[in-house]
Structures are given as C-alpha cells and as structure tokens.
Amino acid sequence: MLETGTLLKSAKDQWRVERLLGSGGQGEVYLVTNGTQKHAALKWYYPHFANPAQRDRLQDLIARGAPSRNFIWPLDLVETPDGSTFGYVMPLLEPRFKSPVELMKGTINPSFRVICTICFELAYHYQQLHSQGLTYYDISLNNFAFDPNIGEVRIMDNDNACPAGMQVSVHGTPGFMAPEIVRGEATPSIETDLHSLAVLLFHLLFISHPLNGEQEYRIHCLDMAAMQQLYGTNPIFIFDPNNDSNRPVPGYHDNALIYWKIYPQFIRDLFTQAFTNGLKDPNERVREPEWKRALARLRDSIIFSADGSENFYDLELLRQGKPHICWHSKQEITLPPRLKIDDRIVMLTHVTTLSEHHLRGNFEFDKVVGRVVQHPTQRGIWGLRNESEQPWYFTDQDRTLREVPPGKSVTLFNGLTINFGGVTGEVRS
C-alpha cells in the first residue's frame, strides 16, 4: 500500500518508508526511518480496519506506554493528511528473535533451560499487562518471538490490547480460545486470557495441544464444527486423571506421550488443574503468579545425566524411593547436591547461578549473587562462590563458624548451612 520513499508525519516525527517487511490479517508492516536514521517498524492498516475505534484504541495504548520493554508496543500514531488511513510506529524486532512456529516444527532446538525461561517470561509479562487492567485477547503461538539462546521474549501485535470488558472484534485464535468463548457464552477477558496462556505454555513445554487426543484423531476434517466440539462443547484434557477418553494416540500424538513423562509431578499437576477444573470454571484457572513460581522452580530443577542430557529433578520420585532415569540414555542419573532456601530448591549443577530470587523469592534474576564452581586443582570437588557484595557465613564440618568473603568459595558438602545475609540455606546430597 505504501511505496518506498513515502513520507508520513505524526505528532512526534516524520517517517520515511524504506521497504515492506511483511503483511498480516489487519495490514502491512514496513521498515521506516526518521530524520536521525533511527529504524523502526510501521504497521499500516488496510482501509477497512482503519476505523475510529481502532484509532482511539491506539491513542490510549500510546498514552499508557508499554507494560514492560518486552512488548513491541505502539509508540506513535501515523496517518494520511486526510485521516482516511493510518498506522502506528513500533520498535523493530531484532533478528535474534525467532518464531515459536520454528520450535513446533523442530527447525530450532532450544535447551530445556531456555524453554523454561520463555515460559516464565510469558507468564511474567502477561501479568504486567493484566495488572494495568488490559486484556490481550489473542494469546497464541503467533504473537510473540523469543531468543533461542537465552529465552528472552518479545510480545507483538499489541494494538488489539484493550481494557478488560471492552467489546472487540478479535476473540482469539482457534485452539487457544477459552471454551466459553468458543461456545459463544462469553467475550474475551483476563480469565479467558489465562486459558490461552495455559494452552500456549503447554505447547512450548510438551510440543502438543492439551485437548488434541483421540477425539481429534477420529476427526477426518478439522472444520469449524469439529473445533467447536474439541475446544468448546466437549473439551477433555488429554491427561485428565478421571477421564481417559481423549488420551494421546501412539504414533500420532507422540510428542505429548514423550514430553509428559519428562517433566516433574508438580508441573504436571498445575497443567491438570488448568485443563480440568479450569476448563469448566474460569475462577479455577491457574493465574500468572502460580505459573511464575512453578516455572522458576522448574528451571531450578534441571539436572544432567552422564551423557549431558538435561533432565528434571522430581521431589515426588525421591519421596517414593524411585531413581531418576534419563529420558535420552535411559540410565540412572546421579543427583547433584541441592540447596534449599525456604520453599525453594535449587539443583547445584556445573551451570548453576544463584540470583536475588533464590534468596528472597522476588523473581529478580538479573543480579547474580552466587555461582557453582569447580575446585581449581581437585577435579570432582565443587564449591559455591560468593559473587555478592557482602560476606556469607557457614558452619564447617567441625562446627566452626567461618566467613566466605565476596569472590571466595565454600566447598559443598552434605549438611552445609550458609547464612547469605538474613537468609539461610542448607545443602543436601
């Protein structure tokens, strides 16, 4: 719709169209620059979407500002001189961010740690959006991107975000919409967003859909009537403990069958809640704080087998006296030491770092305060190095109180207790 070199003015700046980046259901996206050669993206609406309601929504979102820097948020409203068509300028997505569709297809293979980080970040940032009284309306695989090396996310297509309860034309993506929306009994809300978020997290962790089991297998044409049945009229969780009529079909739903066994019991329990009671009662859905706690715990549960494969520590297996078996090598895993601080358990592997969250439970992961390190001369001897700005204190094996200054390490042993400064942790092996 816009030619290269077209100049567009806004209240804040003038933008020059450089080239078309892509197109979607509502409009086209262009690379644009301003007078200082700053690059940005411009979403330009098709005329039938450039209506007064959409303009008002954009102006409200621009005035509010992004809930966090992880949102590709509308920054500036741009329109033609006569106001007949318009669009908005937003930050340009960096090339390092990839589509989750690539993960679903298997063309990229992030580590379990990265997947856990992606899921945590999604729960964290959607909570930021909801805390402002906004509903996203269309949480799905299509509307975010992630860095496959570190798990950082960017949430896109935010121009449809609205105050909760506002009537909107976008109700969601098939397969992600809450059952009550599919049945036509409700409009999008924060509660329906919570269902969509749970479906999205299930896709990322289990590479499958939580409601696609035998019922879906028996459908020859997945048309609107079939989707109404699967996701609205009779949705059944594929691992519902009280209803086995929609189990994954071997040879057809293998991802679900394989990945469900890999994750620890506490994460399976949370998804069971989301897709049993949560399917029937929106008030029973898992909320973002619960997801954040569980996903942070899941990331801290990562352990490694002898062949280097990532696995997860499962406290339930320990309680039952069962060994941890590697999903890849099928060999028993020797468990590393674990650090318990209040209700938080951190597996102390060769890649473990401690952050403020591990000490305070505040979800602050940016500041590293401790790191697992190997003894410089004795292989197989591991310690925890103090990377904070204050000393730690511990009682050694002869019950003498000793100090661990910043930059120094304490050797790990069973029963070690460390005072991190108002917070005490205990090492078990």
Q: What is the pLDDT of residues 259-282, one digit of tens each?
A: 999 999 999 999 999 999 999 999
Whole-prediction pTM: 0.95
Q: What is the pLDDT of residue 340?
A: 97
| Rounded Cα distance, 424 and 163, in Å | 43
pLDDT band at residue 399, thresholds of 50, 70 and 90? confident
- Distances in Å between the Cα of 18 and the Cα atoms of 33, 34, 324, 325 are 7, 10, 55, 54
| Rounded Cα distance, 269 and 309, in Å | 24
Mean pLDDT of 141-163: 95
Comparing 397 with 141, the larger pLDDT belongs to: 141
The angle that helices 112-131 and 288-300 make with each other, rounded to 10 degrees, is 160
Mean pLDDT of 60-81: 93
Listed as own residue / partner, the contacts of 307-311 with beta carbons closer than 8 Å and 24 or more positions apart are 307/331, 310/111, 310/112, 310/113, 311/262
Provide φ and ψ at 12, rounded to 5°.
-105, -25
pLDDT tens digits for 312-328?
999 999 999 999 999 99
Q: What is the pLDDT of residue 169?
A: 61
Residue 288, pLDDT > 80, answer yes
Provide φ and ψ at 136, rounded to 5°.
-85, -35
Structure tokens at 270: 């949370």
Count of positions (residues) in the chain: 429
The lowest-confidence range among 134-138, 146-150, 253-257 is 134-138
pLDDT band at residue 176, thresholds of 50, 70 and 90? very high
* 82: DSSP letter: T
pLDDT band at residue 168, thresholds of 50, 70 and 90? low
Whole-number percent of the chain with pLDDT over 90 = 84
Residue 25, pLDDT > 90, answer no
Please, is 54 exposed, middle or buried when counting C-beta atoms within 10 Å of its C-beta (0-12, 13-18, 19+)? middle
Mean pLDDT of 105-134: 96
Structure tokens at 87: 């669009």
